[in-house]
Structure 1
Amino acid sequence: MSLQLFIRYILVLVLSISCSAQEESQRLPEESQPVNNNFAKGADVGWLSQMEATGYIFYDTDGTPKDCLQLLKDRGINTIRLRVFVNPSDDKLTGHCSKEETVAMAVRAQNLGMRIMIDFHYSDSWADPGKQYKPAAWVDHSFEELKQDVYDHTFDVLSALKNAGVTPEWVQVGNEIPGGMLWPDGSTDNFGQLAQLLNKGYDATKAIDNNIKVIVHIDQGNNNPRFRWFFDLATANYVKYDVIGLSYYPYWLQTHYTQNIADLEYNLKDMVSRYGKEVMVVEVGEDYRQEQTTFDMLKAVIKAVKSVPDNKGLGVVYWEPEGAKSWSGYQLNAWQDNGKPSPALDAFKN
C-alpha cells in the first residue's frame, strides 16, 4: 500500500468512527429517557362559569380579551378537572357546579381538544379533609340508601356527559377523603362502609365506560405514612380503583417546596410499587404573588411525577389557576391582578 492510500484509509476510518459516535450520542438520550406524550397537564376550573357570569374578563399578555380555556391551552394545559355538587346553592364561591353546569363546561373544554376529569364531592358544597357533609336530600337515608345514592348520582352525571358527547378520561369518587366521606356513615372509623360507598362510585363509573380510570384521592401528597395507612386499609377492605390521586400544597404545609419535594417523589414511587396503581397529582397550587417560586415548584412536581417508572405518573393538575384573588379571595390561584395569566403557568409548556 502506498503512503497516499494509507493516509486516505486512515482518514476514512476516523470519519466513520466519528459519525458512529455522533449517531450514538444523539440516540442515547432518546432511548434512556422515553417521552410520555400522554402526560396530563391540567387545570381545575370549577369557578370559571361563575366568573364569566359575573363579568370577569380574562386577558392575554398583550392585553387582548381571550377565552380562559384558550389561555390555559396556550400555556400547555391539555386537561380540565371539574367538580360536581349534588344540589348546590347559587353562591358564587361555594355553590354552582351542578350537573348541568358541569356538562356545559366539559363540552366546551372538549371542543378545544381538552381531556376531562370529573371530581365527585358527594355533597352540596365543598368536601375536603375538614368536612364531608351529606347532601341535604340524603341526610335521613339509611346506609343501604346511601350506597344507592352514590351509584345513582354518579351514573346520572356521567350519563348526562355521555349523552352530550363527553366521556371523561378520569373520575374521582370523593374529594380529599383521608377521613372518609358522607360522614358519619362513610368515615374512615368504619372503613368497611367507606369501601362499599367507594365501590358504588366505581361500579357506576365502569357501567358508563369501562375505560374510564377511577381515582381515589387524599391530601398531603408528601406524607407517605398517611398514604400507606389509608391505602393499606383500602386494600384490606377491597376498594376498587385505578389511580391514586394526591394533593400537594406546600403553602398549606407552611413549608417551601424544596423541603418536601423529595418526599412527594418518594411517595409517588412507593404508591406504584406497593399497590400496583398509577398515580396523579390532581391538585397543586402556590401563592400567586410568588410567581418564580410557583413556576419552579410546578416544574419540580412535573419532574417528580414524570420520574415514576413505566409512565405510571399520569399528570399534574393546578387547582383553580384562573380564580383571581380579586374575584375569589383565593391566594393560591395563578392569575395576575391585571386579569392576565401568571407566568408561573408557563411551567406546563413543553
Structure 2
Amino acid sequence: MKKNIILLSLLLVAIQFVFSCSAGTKTVEKSKANSFAKGADVGWLPQMEATGYQFYDADGSKKDCLQLLKDRGINTIRLRVWVNPSKNKASGHCSKEETVAMAVRAQKMGMRIMIDFHYSDSWADPGKQTKPLEWKNHTFSELLNDVYLHTEDVLKALKQSGVTPEWVQIGNEIPGGMLWPEGSTDNFNQLAQLLNKGYDATKAIDKNIKVIVHLDEGNNSKKFRWFFDNAKANNVKYDVIGMSYYPFWIKSDYKENIGDLANNLNDMSARYNKEVMIVEVGGDYTLEQNTHNMLVAVIKAVKAVPNNKGLGVIYWEPQGEKSWSKYQLSAWKSDGKPSMALDAFKE
C-alpha cells in the first residue's frame, strides 16, 4: 500500500509539472503576442548578401544584418512576396521560396513574422497594382481563385517549414484597390471579394493569424475614412488597419503631421473597432537625428492608442544602404553600419 501511495504521489507531481510547463509556455506565447512589435521590412536582404554587401557593427566588426537589427530592439521581420518575380536586383526576387527561407532564418533568431502579399510579379503601391502576368487574361472569378490559391500556397509552404506568421497583409498600399482594373476601388464590391478570398485563405491555414489591410499616408484621415467606410459597407473581413507613414514623400517634416497620424490611429481604432499598426515608416538617411526623433514620436503615438490596440511600428528596408539600393530612406550609413536613428527602437 505504501508503495502505491508513493507511486501515486510521484504521478501527481509529474502531472503538475507538465501542466506547469504548459501554462508557462502559453504565458510566454501570450506575452509575445501582446508585446509591441518593433519591426524591419528586409526584402532586399537576400539580394544584398548575394551581391556581396557586408554589414558592420559600430565597432567595425562584421555581423549578420538580422543580428544588428535585433541588437537595436527589432523583434519583427516583414517580408514581401511576389507571384512570379524576375531576378532583377531592383524589381525582382521575393519569390515564395526566398520568402520562406528568410522567414525561417528570422524565426530562428526569435523574430516575429509578417508576410506582405503584393499579388503582383513586382512592386504594388498606390501608383501601380499590376496583375501577375500569369493572371493577366483571367476572368474575375478566376482572379478570386488565384488570390485564394496563391495565399494558401505561400502560407502552406511557410507552415511546412515551421513558420506560421503572426500577421498577413492582403495587398500592399491599396487606397485605389489591387489587381487593376477588376479590383479597383471603382469596383469596391469586387475588391471586397478579392480581399475576403485572401482573408479566408489565411484563416484556413491558421485562424490566429491577424489579417491586415494597408493604405499609404497614415496621416490622411479623409483617405482612410473613405476607404474603410466602403470596406465596412462591402463587408470586408480583416483584423488590423495597416498604415504607411513617410513625411519625406509628402515633402514635410514629421513635426507638421505627427499629430494627424496620432489622431488617425485613434480614429481608425475607435471608428471600426480594429487594431492599428504602422507597417511602413522611413526617414532620410542623411538626417539621422531627425529620423530618430520621428521614430520615437511614431512609436509613442502607436503605443498611446487606447486599449492596447496599437500593435507596432515597422521600418521599411532600414538596411537598404543607398549605394546599393539607391533608396534615400534607409537607416544605414555608407560604411555599412546602422544609423543611430534605429536606436529609437531600443527606447
TM-score, normalised to structure 2, is 0.90
Superposed counterparts of 1:209-224, under 5 Å: 209-224=206-221
* 2:56 aligns with one of 55, 59, 64: 59
Q: Deviations over 1:92-136 (max 9, x none)?
A: 111000000000000000000000000000000000000000000
* 1:92 aligns with one of 89, 101, 106: 89
Residue 228 of structure 1: CA displacement?
Answer: 0.1
Residue identity matched to 1:186: G
Corresponding position of 2:26:
none
Q: Deviations over 1:68-91 (max 9, x none)?
A: 000000000000000000000000
Kindly tell me: are residues 69 and 226 of structure 1, through their superposed partners in 2, closer, same or farther at Cα, counting changes over 3 Å? same
Corresponding position of 1:279:
276
Residue identity matched to 1:96: H
Superposed counterparts of 1:297-312, under 5 Å: 297-312=294-309
For 1:37 and 1:91, locate their aligned partners in 2 and report how far apart those are by CA, in whole Å.
38
Task: Say which SS state the counterpart of residue 116 (structure 2) adopts.
Answer: strand
| Identical-residue share of aligned pairs (%) | 76
Superposed counterparts of 1:219-234, under 5 Å: 219-234=216-231
Residue 37 of structure 1: CA displacement?
Answer: 6.0
Task: Say which SS state the counterpart of residue 61 (structure 1) adopts.
Answer: coil
* 1:71 aligns with one of 68, 73, 84: 68
Corresponding position of 1:251:
248
Q: Deviations over 1:225-260 (max 9, x none)?
A: 100000000000000000000000000010000000
Task: Say which SS state the counterpart of residue 247 (structure 2) adopts.
Answer: coil
Corresponding position of 1:330:
327
Matched, 1:236 2:233: yes
For 1:55 and 1:196, locate their aligned partners in 2 and report how far apart those are by CA, in whole Å.
43
Matched, 1:260 2:257: yes
Residue identity matched to 1:137: E
Q: Which runs of 4+ in 1 moved over 2 A?
A: none
Residue identity matched to 1:105: M
Where in structure 1 are there 5+ consecutive unaligned residues? 1-35
Task: Say which SS state the counterpart of residue 327 (structure 1) adopts.
Answer: helix
* 1:43 aligns with one of 29, 40, 43: 40
Task: Say which SS state the counterpart of residue 289 (structure 1) adopts.
Answer: coil
Residue identity matched to 2:260: D
Length, aligned pairs only: 315
Matched, 1:153 2:150: yes
Corresponding position of 2:139:
142
Task: Say which SS state the counterpart of residue 101 (structure 2) adopts.
Answer: helix
For 1:128 and 1:272, locate their aligned partners in 2 and report how far apart those are by CA, in whole Å.
23
Task: Say which SS state the counterpart of residue 149 (structure 1) adopts.
Answer: helix
Corresponding position of 1:131:
128
Residue identity matched to 1:76: G
Supply the RMSD in Å over aligned alpha carbons: 0.7
Residue identity matched to 1:263: D
Task: Say which SS state the counterpart of residue 276 (structure 2) adopts.
Answer: strand
* 1:112 aligns with one of 109, 114, 120: 109
Matched, 1:83 2:62: no
Give the structure with higher Rg (CA): 1
Residue identity matched to 1:58: F
Task: Say which SS state the counterpart of residue 219 (structure 2) adopts.
Answer: coil
Corresponding position of 2:344:
347
Residue identity matched to 1:93: A
For 1:140 and 1:309, locate their aligned partners in 2 and report how far apart those are by CA, in whole Å.
46
Task: Say which SS state the counterpart of residue 249 (structure 2) adopts.
Answer: coil
TM-score, normalised to structure 1, is 0.89
Task: Say which SS state the counterpart of residue 248 (structure 2) adopts.
Answer: coil
